């Protein structure tokens, strides 16, 4: 495999992982009819997940950066 193909594969992997992380592990949203205990529990879980959206977006950004470098190398 060439360097460009390896970078394209790494870019696709970072994009997929970032998207999956944002889809499955992002913040919970409150329901319309929810008890105070449920809201407080959800708030605690969301506080523990503060770094997850940043990780997902960082992986997606890394995929764009890798793709840009791969395009520059593909002459």
Domain that holds residue 45: 3-26+35-73
Q: Are 59 and 14 in contact (CB under 8 A)?
A: yes
Check: pTM over 0.75? Answer yes or no.
no
CB-based contact 11:67 (threshold 8 Å): yes
Residue-level pLDDT, tens digit, the chain, 75 residues: 788 888 888 999 999 999 998 888 887 777 778 888 888 998 998 898 888 888 888 999 999 999 888 888 876
Q: What is the total count of domains within the chain?
A: 1
Q: Are 56 and 15 in contact (CB under 8 A)?
A: no
From the list 14, 1, 18, the residue with the least C-alpha distance to 67 is 14
């Amino acid at each position: 495999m060439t360097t460009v193909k390896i970078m394209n594969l790494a870019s696709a992997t970072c994009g997929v992982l970032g998207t999956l992380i944002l889809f499955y592990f992002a913040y919970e949203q409150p329901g319309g009819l929810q008890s105070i205990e449920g809201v407080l529990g959800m708030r605690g879980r969301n506080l523990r997940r503060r770094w997850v959206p940043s990780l997902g977006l960082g992986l997606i950004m890394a995929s764009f950066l890798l793709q840009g470098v791969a395009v520059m190398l593909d002459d």
